[in-house]
Structure 1
């Protein structure tokens, strides 16, 4: 099962799609996938009334050509960027005043 074990997993379903975000080694043979992503966790929990959290993270990345994929959970958010952009992402987030641990 894709969702078993340690590590980040997200499952989303719409009327016409099922998306599973997981570690590459969990993807069964023959399933379409896009690999080479790195995940940054935004440490929550954040109140639903708190605004601008995602924007404060995405804006410096988007302004510098870094594409992002955001997955939100009840207590936090996960920012996925291509692994080739991971170091640039770290630098840009630090420059924007975000603490990376």
Structure 2
């Protein structure tokens, strides 16, 4: 399976309201629930005025379009990384999944996945 490293640095945060999210950015993940408005985007595009914000994330994408019948892809990746004490933040889209990892653990995570047969695309 191919994992594509994204070059951007990412931030994760909680917005006061939906209007703060600039949905025109290439990578912008927005979620609204009854409890919060969450935004994940490249750090350079994160609004300054937020409820909470955490910078310092890197990401990779599982390449290709994943059929909904596929089972265990995220479970395998998350288990491998958990066994190496590497936490993740996952975003699923209609086509695929994005895995975010704190920047200080990112290169180690990439090595672990490569050592277990994942093809890493830079």
User: What TM-score results when the alignment is normalised by the length of structure 1?
Assistant: 0.92
Q: CA RMSD in A?
A: 1.1
After superposition, where does 1:1-101 map in structure 2 within 5 Å?
1-6=21-26, 8-31=27-50, 32-101=52-121
Structure (1 or 2) with the greater strand fraction: 2
Runs of 4+ in 1 over 4 A off after TM superposition: none
Q: Deviations over 1:43-99 (max 9, x none)?
A: 121111110111121111011100000000010100000000010011000011111
Count matched residues. Answer: 100
Deviation at 1:28, TM superposition (A): 2.0
User: What TM-score results when the alignment is normalised by the length of structure 2?
Assistant: 0.77
